[in-house]
Amino acid sequence: MNCAWLEERQLVFRDDLPMPVPENGEALVRVTLSGICNTDIELTRGYYPYAGVPGHEFVGIAKSGPLAGQRVVGEINASCGVCEACTHGRRTHCERRTVLGIKDRNGAFAEYLTLPAENLHIVPEGVPNEVAVFTEPLAAALEIQEQVRIAPDDRVLVVGNGKLGRLIAASLALTGCKLTFVGREHGEIAPRSFDVVVECSGNADGFALARHAVRPRGTIVMKSTYAGDLTFNASALVVDEITLLGSRCGPFAPALRLLADGKIDPRPMIHARYPLHDVSAAFAQAERQGVLKVLLVP
């Protein structure tokens, strides 16, 4: 089958990858549309030593398993179900997990992929593919509200006006909180003025702004992946009693409901579509300043 292949930070198009064979409990999915995420870009920069097919945002048609014939999206963490993390409700941190297009599992920049059947969710009728492909990043945005209670009187700052930042801002706006949404180099934020700051710029300047803006005993939510190390003054975090919270994958069901109800419409974020064989050009476009979502069509 056709795919994009990443190895030693080099991304190339291949037309000779064997079709994936689902293991017990897995389903084969024909990919209809996939999206380039900042994590995919960071993988090409060495964020994680991954070799294989990248890509984890997708919509497709299940070709086997209990949802065969249905249009589906999929949660990206495939867990074992029996380790200590799994049995204590932390399946996304399974000790033996594979992660679609990121860790030990070929991903969505291909004609076909496999995932555990339990990871798949049916896309509601009326939700077009170019909307459904945003389910995974919208779920990641909603994870913030699973971790932190956001009240209408909370002052919330979102740092980073890229793809994920816009979805986070859109989802937080539905809470009625006092929301501010800025780029990582915004210079007019008053110090110590926000209860919750969400850092999703993926840049040290963005974290510095988040640290500048959060009040004592406030919370910084980290939604970025970084290639390389991030340095900060840990003593100052202790003195100000700042909660530093990592946040990753999130719930698919409420994300699909928001998309189906039209409460969040991500289509204005779509900048371009490329055929899979032009994956190098697609990534070059996705890395340009100001470009939001770039989609790949197998």
pLDDT at 225 over 80: no
Two domains, one topology: 3-134+266-297 and 140-246: no
The ranges assigned to domains in the chain are 3-134+266-297, 140-246
pLDDT at 1: 97
Torsion of Cα atoms, 201 then 203 then 209 then 212, to 10°:
120
pLDDT at 262: 97
Q: Among residues 245, 250, 159, which one has the least CA distance to residue 208? A: 159
- pLDDT interval class at 35 (50, 70, 90): very high
The pLDDT value recorded for residue 186 is 77
pLDDT tens digit sequence for 284-295 = 999 999 999 999
List the structure tokens of 242. 């700042």
Give me the helix-helix angle, 135-147 and 163-173, nearest 10°. Answer: 50
Please give the CATH number for the structural domain made up of 3-134+266-297. 3.90.180.10
pLDDT at 17: 97
Total Cβ atoms within 10 A of residue 125: 7
Gap between the Cα atoms of 13 and 175, Å rounded:
42
Query: Distance (Å, rounded) from C-alpha 222 to C-alpha 135?
Result: 20
Percent pLDDT > 70 in the chain is 100
pTM given for the model: 0.95
Tell me the per-residue pLDDT of 42-95, one tens digit each, with 9 for 90 and over. Answer: 999 888 899 999 999 999 999 999 999 999 999 999 999 999 999 999 999 999
- Name the residue among 80, 57, 56, 70 with its Cα closest to residue 28: 70
Q: What is the pLDDT, as a whole number, of residue 67?
A: 98
Residue 91 is predicted with a pLDDT of 92
Please give the C-alpha separations between residue 176 and each of 150, 171, 195, 225, in angstroms, as whole numbers.
Answer: 9, 10, 14, 28
Q: Which CATH superfamily is domain 140-246 in?
A: NAD(P)-binding Rossmann-like Domain (3.40.50.720)
Query: For residue range 85-127, what is the model confidence (pLDDT) as tens digits?
Result: 999 999 999 999 999 999 999 999 999 999 999 999 999 999 9
What pLDDT shows up at residue 227? 64
Nearest to 191 by CA among 227, 224, 236, 235: 236
**pLDDT confidence of 7, banded at 50, 70, 90?**
very high
The predicted-structure confidence for 230-258, as pLDDT tens digits, reads as follows 889 999 999 999 999 999 999 999 999 99
Instruction: List, for residues 157-208, the tens digit of each pLDDT value.
Output: 999 999 999 999 999 999 999 999 998 777 789 999 999 999 999 888 999 9
Q: Flag whether pLDDT at 12 surpasses 70.
A: yes
